[in-house]
Amino acid sequence: MSTATDNVRSAMAESGATSSQPSRSSAPSYLVAGVLFYGAVGWLLDQWLGTRFLVAAGVLLGGALGTYMMIVQLKRQTAAQETHASTTTSDKTSSEESE
């Protein structure tokens, strides 16, 4: 069983697939989710308090927080890719030197 697990892990490492890092295409979902979530919270508060401005405030707040989270996620992914690229390059260099 451990041999199969090792094979799967090595295949995932070679393909660059990791479960801890979502793809770059998922980063804009933070923006959409922030606007929808905080807009909905603002709408609920408007209904409860009898106001009319909290939906707009929620949408703006959600857009700002979603943009912030999107930037943070993209920076993390870029740093992880640079680390992976430098590790791969150093591995290739060390294997060429050993030959």
Judge whether 6 lies within some domain: no
Judge whether 88 lies within some domain: no
Q: Which residues contact 77 (CB under 8 A, 6 or more apart)?
A: 21, 22, 24, 27
DSSP characters over the chain? -HHHHHHHHHHHHHHT--SSS--GGGTHHHHHHHHHHHHHHHHHHHHHHT-SSHHHHHHHHHHHHHHHHHHHHHHHHHHHHHHHHHHHHHHHHHHHHH-
Judge whether 89 lies within some domain: no
| Domain span at 55 | 26-82
Residue 98 has pLDDT above 90, yes or no: no
Model pTM above 0.75: no
| Cβ atoms 58, 39 nearer than 8 A | yes
Q: Which residue has the higher pLDDT, 53 or 18?
A: 53
- Residue 49, pLDDT score: 96
pLDDT in tens, 35-86: 999 999 999 999 999 999 999 999 999 999 999 999 999 999 898 888 888 8
Please count the structural domains in the chain.
1
